Chains A and B, each alone.
Chain A
């Protein structure tokens, strides 16, 4: 017999693993650091959050135990993972990691308050 909660548990776990796989593929396939940071911070956050939602539903349905720690974990990952991605990308930009050659826009290079504004090489 399959309960409705089982379907939700399986669905969220599959969504989470799918997005984690997408993250890994994006880290391998994308050309430069900024696009990789985009892949790693967005879809990994969604993947981990889906898996944790699946964990919450599983324990509520199976044991009747609502784990507030997992809820706190979802909230925490939601806040911190994008900030981590932002800080990594910013640190890379300020240490002059080149953009991918197909990039068309670099507004921060025009900023006069840019820290140590070296000439940016976009590798033609």
Chain B
């Protein structure tokens, strides 16, 4: 993690704990995202928790390291999230039902068995991407300005 900027402090404890705490936080965010339909959680809080995991990486290392780990443009991520949400909502128009009508059905997935899949989850995926994208855009923009 040699950055061009001079870095005096020896952050071994913070950095090595961040490397696995980030995975716990990210796992919890994925759990919150998928649990949102039946228990508290959902796209918004899942996105915020994911953003907090990324902010922890940003605190322990620096902004170049985060770009190396996750080379995504967060503004594009926001746009893709919006697109997914709008397309999910307008997909209902293809089936001659009102805008935003959701559908769900039961499928036999190979690993999970009988699972209820709901198109509201796709909408939630869009919300998730928008929240992560907006939060990280705000924080990176503030962090980069000198």
Which A residues are closer than 8 A to B by beta carbons? 69, 72, 75-76, 79-80, 83, 86-87, 94, 115
Contacts and interface: CB of A to CB of B under 8 A. Distances in A.
Nearest to B28: A72
A83 B24 contact: no
20 contacts: A69-B28, A69-B31, A72-B24, A72-B28, A75-B24, A76-B21, A76-B24, A79-B17, A79-B21, A80-B17, A80-B21, A83-B13, A83-B14, A83-B17, A86-B13, A87-B13, A87-B14, A94-B9, A115-B8, A115-B9
Interface in B84-142: none
Nearest to A76: B24
Nearest to B8: A115
Which 6 interchain pairs have the tightest Cβ spacing?
Answer: A115-B8, A83-B17, A86-B13, A83-B13, A115-B9, A76-B24
A85 to B, nearest CB: 11
A76 B17 CA distance: 11
A89 to B, nearest CB: 11
A87 B31 CA distance: 29
